[in-house]
Amino acid sequence: MDGNIPSGESFVRQFLHGQGFFKKELGVTCKEFWLPDTFGYSPQIPGLMRHMGLSRFLTQKMSWSFVNKFPHHNFTWRGIDGSEVLAHFPPGESYHMDCT
C-alpha cells in the first residue's frame, strides 16, 4: 500500500467499505485506522479520518529508518486542513514483537 499515490476519494471509499463491514458484522463502527505498512503518509489522512469518525491512528512502518529514528511513540498528527488524530507507533519498533 502506498499512502501518497491514492486519491482522497480512494481513501474515503476504503473507509466507507470498512466502516460498513464493521457495522454489519460487528454492530459497531471503528474509531481506529490501522496502517501497518505503507510507503508514505499523505497529509490528507488526518482530515479524511476525522470526516469518517476515526480518531486514532496506528502504524509500524516508521521503524524501518536506521538513519532518521522517529522520536515519538505517541503524538498528535495534524493534517493539512488542521484536523488532528491521536497517533501511536509501538515502542517495540519491529514487526516481530511479542506480547505477554
Catalytic residue among 2, 37, 81, 98: 37
Between 76 and 96, where is the model more confident?
76
How much is the pLDDT for 23?
95
- Split at pLDDT 50, 70, 90, the class of 1 is low
Q: What is the mean pLDDT of residues 63-92?
A: 86
* More reliable by pLDDT, 38 or 16: 16
State the pLDDT at residue 84: 97
* Nearest 10 degrees: Cα torsion 41, 44, 45, 46: 120
Mean pLDDT calculated for residue range 73-87: 95
Whether 3 has a pLDDT exceeding 80, the answer reads no
* Residue among 88, 69, 87 at smallest CA distance from 77: 87
Distant-in-sequence, close-in-space partners of 32: CB < 8 Å, separation ≥ 6:
54, 55, 56, 57, 58
Active site residue 37: yes
Residue 65 identity: S
